[in-house]
Chain A
Amino acid sequence: MIKFIKENHIIAYIILGIGGLAMIFPFVWMVSTSFKEPWDVFNLAIIPPNPTLNNYVRLLTVSNFSRWFFNSFLVGLSVTVSVIFFDSLVGYTLCKFSFKGKNVIFILILSTMMIPTEMLVIPWYNMSRELGWINNYWGIMFPGLMTGFGTFLMRQFFYSVPDDLIDAGRIDGLNEFQIWYKVAMPLVKPAVSALAIFTFLGNWNAFLWPLIVISDNNLYTLPVGLAFFSGEFQTEWEMVMTGASVATIPVLIIFLIFQKQIVEGIALTGLKG
């Protein structure tokens, strides 16, 4: 018996299981409270005594949540498209082409990874004020349109694309842009999807810059909206938990769909970055 327990790591299963439940219990409670009537919030039962959708209905009527949701989605999607396009094009250029100044440009782009966002927000804010980018979508998006990290990552992956294939493309009469798009890009799909997922999630959850550049309630992204909403409804915790659930659930859905790519992507990019 003891041998059986030891060989199959039964104790590890149990302890990890308890730890894992501890990891998700705040979420379970959050979601459960979002289905509770206000007078049941003090009832700490996991299953709501009188389950209701009232909080969600109220959330949509008293706040701008649907708009914030849309804003976050739009910003996340646009930035992701831009990052995928530019980071892979630049990564490809820096990997497969030879021209003067290539290494200098690579090092310059790489070195931007060391600059913390916190250092840039003041000049960005100043720039946005002068160019009229305060309180519009472009203002939220422009700092993230390209990333040093993504460029570095894509460059690494393009090394796995054989030069022969690229030459074959040239012989077939494709121009360099078409070769990148039609020949090279399909071969680095795993890297592209990992970069896309991380960029989207990163922008979906971004807080500091949107908080600075947006003061118009209609243009808040979800995290900024949630922060102000929660501050305002602080005493109504069932509402705060409903807001938090709305911000969290889409991410969980993305994760459950792309679980494999996300986990492999982190392991891959994390270690290389």
Chain B
Amino acid sequence: MFKKLFSKLTIKQKQALWGYLFLIVPMIFYLGVRFYPTLNSFYISLTDWDIVSKNKNFIGISNYIELFHDEVFWKTLGNTFEYIIYGLPLNLFLSFVIAYNINKLRYGLTIYRTLYFIPYLTSLVAVSWVWRWLYQPIPLGIFNNFLAQFGIAQQPFLESTSQALPSILAPTIWVQIGFQVIIFLAGLKGVPKYLYEAADIDGASNMQKLFRITIPLLRPTIVFLVVTGSIRYLRIFTQVYNMTYQGEGGPLNSTKPLVLYIYNSAFRRFEMGYASAMTVILFVIILVITLFQLKVLNKHD
């Protein structure tokens, strides 16, 4: 009977049925594992849920008000933005300089690309521990041994409130360079050669070519990297968890990013409502950045 009914349908209707059939399981997944949890997060952020007690009491925006008065929250939000502000521009600059120069080479492009790309692929946990080791005091730490060669005093690195954040930034930048170099290289390949040839005829200098041709034409690439980069820096967690004492983002919260504070609130202190309120704020920040990207890119095209 089913077959009979099916054979009566037009080709279009049959196709639609197949389409719906293929989408049933995925729709259940997206509704259950993406959309419902998102809404659930908003709801949990309005409760005082602590996992132990069965019931979630609705407390309105109390969590948000508490956040507003929470010094640690502002500290971690500030740290997160410090990671972005110090890390991202340096990261983009280094990646661009590397990609720009690799792009000039006639031979050995693959080898150079490989060298710069390897850190991006490795487990961030492994990277964090390797760098934590590099930062150790003498006689263990390579950096301090290196500095000693030049008669520079031993540095505390991860042990100091002022040096710890830059010390965590270094491997973060190091890891991201690989990704950004590849994207820049792809962007640079897309710049038509004849523009440079025309510029040569006009007697343009290398600097003029760089600032008048290369950089303006790389604009979409740069916007893309700024957006993905800021989102990545905003979500910084693994390296701080693995590079600081007991994963606490110390010393004295000086390196603790927002996501680590969320993790601690939710899974060490079980303040699920409070942690959810912070995830909502994170979500809003990411949303704003993404919309910014869409707007800037659309304006250009």
A124 pairs with B37, CB closer than 8 A: yes
A205 pairs with B124, CB closer than 8 A: yes
B123 pairs with A204, CB closer than 8 A: yes
Cα of A12 to Cα of B228 in the assembled complex, Å: 28
Contacts of B174 in A (CB 8 A): 23, 26
Query: Interface size (B, Cβ < 8 Å)?
Result: 93
Contacts of B140 in A (CB 8 A): 41-42, 237
Cα of A30 to Cα of B130 in the assembled complex, Å: 7
Count A/B pairs, Cβ under 8 Å. Answer: 259
- Chain B residues touching A, majority SS: helix
Residue from the list B19, B177, B228, B237 in contact with A208, Cβ < 8 A: B237
CB of A13 within 8 Å of the partner chain: yes
Cα of A262 to Cα of B259 in the assembled complex, Å: 29
Least CB separation from B220: chain A residue: A271
A24 with B185, Cβ < 8 A, contacts A99-B19, A114-B286, A119-B38 known? no
B105 pairs with A176, CB closer than 8 A: no
A230 with B122, Cβ < 8 A, contacts A9-B104, A118-B235 known? no
Cα of A248 to Cα of B228 in the assembled complex, Å: 24
CB of B217 within 8 Å of the partner chain: no
CB of A212 within 8 Å of the partner chain: yes
CB of B142 within 8 Å of the partner chain: yes
A86 pairs with B25, CB closer than 8 A: yes
Shortest Cβ distance from residue B202 to the other chain A in the assembled complex, whole angstroms: 21
Shortest Cβ distance from residue A266 to the other chain B in the assembled complex, whole angstroms: 5
A240 pairs with B133, CB closer than 8 A: yes
0/1 string, A110-123, CB within 8 A of B gives 1: 00101111111111
Cα of A124 to Cα of B32 in the assembled complex, Å: 10
A223 pairs with B115, CB closer than 8 A: no
**In residues 226-240 of chain B, which contact A (Cβ within 8 Å)?**
228, 231, 235, 237-238
**In residues 108-155 of chain B, which contact A (Cβ within 8 Å)?**
108, 110-119, 121-127, 129-131, 133-134, 136, 139-140, 142, 145
A119 with B104, Cβ < 8 A, contacts A108-B30, A244-B129, A244-B130 known? no
A20 pairs with B115, CB closer than 8 A: yes
Contacts of B186 in A (CB 8 A): 266-268, 270-271
Residue from the list A98, A116, A143, A254 in contact with B12, Cβ < 8 A: A98
Cα of A117 to Cα of B283 in the assembled complex, Å: 10
12 A-B residue contacts at CB 8 Å? A8-B106, A24-B115, A90-B23, A118-B262, A119-B41, A122-B44, A241-B130, A252-B121, A263-B113, A266-B179, A266-B182, A267-B183
Known: A125-B266, A251-B123. 11 other contacts (CB 8 A): A9-B106, A26-B174, A109-B30, A114-B290, A116-B231, A116-B282, A122-B41, A124-B33, A207-B124, A222-B123, A244-B129
Q: Which 3 A-B pairs have the closest CB atoms?
A: A20-B115, A267-B186, A123-B37
